[in-house]
Amino acid sequence: MSLVAGRGPLSTQPAGWFTPPLTAAPIYIEPHPRRIQAFRGGVVALDTEAALMVHRAGHPLRYAFPNDAVGTLPHEPVPEAPGYAVVPWDAVDAWFEEGRKLVHYPPNPYHRIDCRPTRRGLRVTAAGTVLVDTDETVIVFETALEPRLYVDPALVRTDLLQPSPATSYCNYKGTARYWSAVVGDTVVADVAWSYPDTPPESLPIQGFLSFDASRVDVLAELPSSEASAACGCDV
């Protein structure tokens, strides 16, 4: 995430712009002095504090390791960092950074979660029935993503929601559980999600609900994109 994905500065659709413009897609590589461990078959297959972070446009964020740290793991060299190689994420059973188990990708040091209590309004309707209508919300500003509103379930018609088996994972907010709306005979799957056990940076939205505007009618008072349009940048 962040530098090369979403609306990050090195992504294909950056939220801002460079002056002067970049003439080519840069590759940013930096030291990442944290303990990285990989396990395969219950055995430590990689253990180093000398990793690099590789930010490459059009590619997910990746670790690069000294050649002597990768051992017999599958790997490929990093041309821009001689003596270092990347290991495919699925080449091992589990990755850990400073004792924290990782899923899908490394956590990005430039990724930030900023959760602010606000009076921005949120109204959600499913099958003609209002699920929530309040201005007691929390707005989440997350690097490279659009702002989003979360709401305390005490303000939601949770009697019209039922747990869904769907889940997803975010390195910065934790594992999400999903909820479907049941209004009379109408069931709308996975209209909302919440994070029941967040890392510290996301505690203000722990257990709070956010709604999927592609599945239900959502009126959310979010920051305007007019500033980006006014500056003439292509976003």
Q: Is residue 4 part of a domain?
A: yes
70 in the same domain as 32: yes
Q: Is residue 228 part of a domain?
A: no
pLDDT (tens digit, 9 = 90+) per residue, 77-132?
Answer: 999 999 999 999 999 999 999 998 998 889 888 888 999 999 999 999 999 999 99
Residue 50: domain span: 1-110
Q: Is residue 64 part of a domain?
A: yes
60 in the same domain as 133: no
- Single pTM value for the model: 0.81
35 in the same domain as 117: no
105 in the same domain as 8: yes
Question: Which of 82, 110, 138 is the last residue in one of the domains?
Answer: 110
- Number of domains the chain contains: 2
pLDDT (tens digit, 9 = 90+) per residue, 139-180?
Answer: 999 987 889 999 999 999 999 999 999 999 988 899 999 999
Output phi, psi for 30, to 5 deg. Answer: -145, 150
Q: How many CB atoms lie within 10 A of CB 3?
A: 23
Cα-based distances in Å from 28 to 69, 87, 106 = 22, 18, 15
- Please give the Cα distance from 91 to 98 (Å, whole number): 20
98 in the same domain as 143: no
